[in-house]
């Protein structure tokens, strides 16, 4: 039995389908940019999104249409746009003349400076992302950022270093972000010095791991050279000794 659709539903669906993808993204970006000015007063809320939409000449209903997931979707989209702007800044810079550490520092700085006028909005976004139920979105945003930084810096690792670099940079980025939010120094120079120190520290880790791997190369496992602690049973299951 075919489902029927009311005239209002049909018109709404038709209007949504008629909106070109690029136009829809432009509307989302415009509403989000205008919303940032309201976040310090109304928080990341539907009310802030509606105020931002009205500032752009859209209706309050269009704010909800642009971000059906509400404030959390708006925060995630803001992070994606910030990543895109950061990559654009990296593409416009002479990366070939920079060392790896300089490329990473440039990327982090470019991303933060791109939001210099929105520090309170970012502070409030972090509070929402810290809610346990939002952990998935929080980690996804952080991973996309550090992954974009390493790709923009020319990293092509596909081995264990791929994960090590991103894990280490995630810690550096978050520490620098929190430092930057409260930085009252001229031009946030204290944050950039803090960033340089953190990058120097993480660049020592791969070298240390390399040295350790040389030192312990050929060392037997605690239970025997290359042997697992217990013989494996059928279908890959570990067979432990029976206890009496």
77-110 CB burial, b ≥16 within 10 A, e <16: bbbebbbeebbebbeebebeebeeeebbbbbbbb
Question: Residue 157 has what pLDDT?
Answer: 85
Name the phi and psi angles at 158, rounded to 5.
-130, 0
Confidence of residue 217 (pLDDT cuts 50, 70, 90): low
**Domains of the chain, start order:** 23-68 (no CATH), 70-215 (1.10.357.10)
pLDDT tens profile 85-99: 999 999 999 999 999
pTM: 0.76
């Amino acid at each position: 039995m075919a489902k029927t659709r009311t005239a209002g539903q049909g018109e709404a669906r038709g209007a949504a389908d008629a909106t070109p993808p690029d136009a829809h993204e432009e509307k989302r970006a415009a509403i989000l940019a205008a919303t940032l000015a309201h976040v310090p007063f109304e928080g990341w809320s539907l009310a802030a999104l509606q105020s931002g939409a009205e500032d752009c000449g859209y209706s309050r209903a269009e704010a909800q249409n642009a971000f059906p997931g509400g404030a959390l979707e708006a925060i995630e989209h803001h992070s994606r746009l910030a990543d895109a702007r950061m990559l654009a800044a990296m593409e416009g810079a002479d990366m070939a003349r920079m060392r790896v550490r300089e490329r990473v520092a440039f990327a982090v700085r470019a991303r933060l400076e791109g939001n210099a006028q929105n520090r309170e909005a970012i502070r409030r976004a972090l509070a929402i992302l810290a809610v346990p139920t939002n952990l998935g979105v929080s980690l996804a945003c952080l991973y996309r950022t550090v992954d974009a930084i390493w790709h923009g810096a020319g990293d092509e690792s596909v081995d264990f270093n791929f994960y090590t670099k991103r894990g280490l940079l995630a810690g550096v980025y978050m520490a620098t972000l929190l430092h930057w939010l409260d930085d009252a120094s001229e031009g946030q120079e204290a944050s950039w010095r803090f960033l340089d120190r953190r990058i120097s520290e993480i660049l020592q880790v791969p070298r240390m791991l390399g040295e350790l791997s040389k030192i312990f190369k050929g060392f037997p496992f605690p239970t025997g050279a290359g042997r697992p602690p217990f013989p494996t049973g059928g279908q890959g299951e570990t067979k432990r000794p029976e206890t009496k």
